[in-house]
Amino acid sequence: MYYIIETNKSFTQAVTDLESAVIRNGFGLLHVHDLATTLRTKGFAFNDECKVFEICNPAQAAKVLAIDMRLNMALPCRISVFTENGKTKIGLIKPVQMLSALSQDATLAQVAKEVEEKTIKMVDEAK
């Protein structure tokens, strides 16, 4: 259900490269959540880094919502850059598996496949 790669890049470089890959692949960057900083400012000890990119392709999102408005809760797509055991990783939850748990609609499955291919491409390009 997960697609996670390890990169030899620094956390900062992987974040920069993922941002470029998102734009290059026709998606918009809606927001980047800096979870590590948020946890630290709330008083929690957190030694790793973690940024979660919320990304969207409006045309694909419109198709999903036209099929089933409840799926707004599964949007936007997310890709994370994080550190774990001293290694930088980039990953996502695969849209096909996630959305197939929520709907059996064949058109939705095709949209999810297209989005999954693009988001995996983004991760691979950022590697």
Instruction: Using DSSP bridges, classify how beta strands 77-84 and 87-93 pair: parallel, antiparallel or unpaired.
Output: antiparallel
pLDDT at 56: 96
Q: What sign does the CA torsion over 68, 69, 70, 74 have?
A: positive
Per CATH, which fold does 2-126 belong to? TATA-Binding Protein (3.30.310)
pLDDT at 111: 95
Amino acid 78 reads R
pLDDT at 44: 97
pTM: 0.93
In this prediction, residue 119 carries a pLDDT of 98
- pLDDT at residue 27, as a whole number: 97
Residues of the chain with pLDDT under 50: none
The predicted structure's pLDDT at residue 40 = 97
